[in-house]
Structure 1
């Protein structure tokens, strides 16, 4: 997804806080700054913990968002914060205020397919079965992802 942002002038990358730790409060603030920094409705594209950041942001903020592509969100309900003073990684379960597609893998090491199905149902997202795709990241050998680009285009056409 970083490749997409680098290759397309209309894409913006929401800055990530330094790693580690993954500080949820900072991640949500970075997303809010990126979304509110434009009057143009955004299509949010998130992977892994970025999906959780997106749904936490959507539960607390409003902004010009047309849709979201959520790729392999991890099941981290109730995980303790990585930094003292941060909020726990509690995943909101309400319907998202914009259309969403959740891409699920049958072999993701962080989330079972049943958990992906529950996230999709809770968030009102369309579930896309990516099959045996691991965590759908470069560490798992994924490079260009034309199916993902097609999903973003379809979201933009809604």
Structure 2
């Protein structure tokens, strides 16, 4: 009897604010674990740590410790981290779900890093080279951290397919999102696809 292919490991890359209780990524990791999926999390780096290179290194360390295929699930600043990481890693990725990437090239609301701080941390300019793996960019039409047009532009540059979620804010607890069941459907989509195929 043929053996079923092993499920890929879901690599969760949180945003600059790290893992947050009640956030859909935190709940997703719990739900996937209960369902028998292998899950790996990029460890917390500290909200004040704006060293982009250190965060990219953290993704690489976790990714290289995983045996077998990977599906990346990133949110907010984690999407930008993944775009930077993709230009340097040699790790094969089966697919990536990139939810509501922020526009770090425009001033953001109070409480978020300034353009000067992001530039000093090595985040700018935003990576615009095509990603070397299949990906979905999840876009919101009323995201306070990025206009829909800018998110669409990033998706085009990254050669990602755009998923228009409508008015979902920043897809975080402040926008009313705890569990986000679509995330697992997107993961299953990449898990079912042959390596390198969408």
TM-score by length of 1: 0.91
CA RMSD of aligned residues (A): 1.7
Paired with 1:2 and 1:89, the residues of 2 have a C-alpha distance of 27
Paired with 2:133 and 2:92, the residues of 1 have a C-alpha distance of 10
Structure 1, residues 29-61: CA drift from partner, whole Å, max 9, x if none? 110111111121210000000000000000122
Structure 1, residues 66-99: CA drift from partner, whole Å, max 9, x if none? 1100000001138334596x42432110110000
Match of 1:139 in 2: 174
| Residue 124 of structure 1 pairs with residue 152 of structure 2 | no
Instruction: List alignment gaps of at least 5 residues for structure 1.
Output: none
Match of 1:5 in 2: 29
Choose which of 110, 135, 140 in structure 2 pairs with 1:100.
135
Structure 1, residues 95-153: CA drift from partner, whole Å, max 9, x if none? 10000000000000011111111011000100000001000011211011112221111
Secondary structure of residue in 1 paired with 2:97: strand
TM-score by length of 2: 0.74
Match of 2:65 in 1: 37
Paired with 2:151 and 2:100, the residues of 1 have a C-alpha distance of 8
Equivalent pairs, count: 157
Match of 2:116 in 1: 80
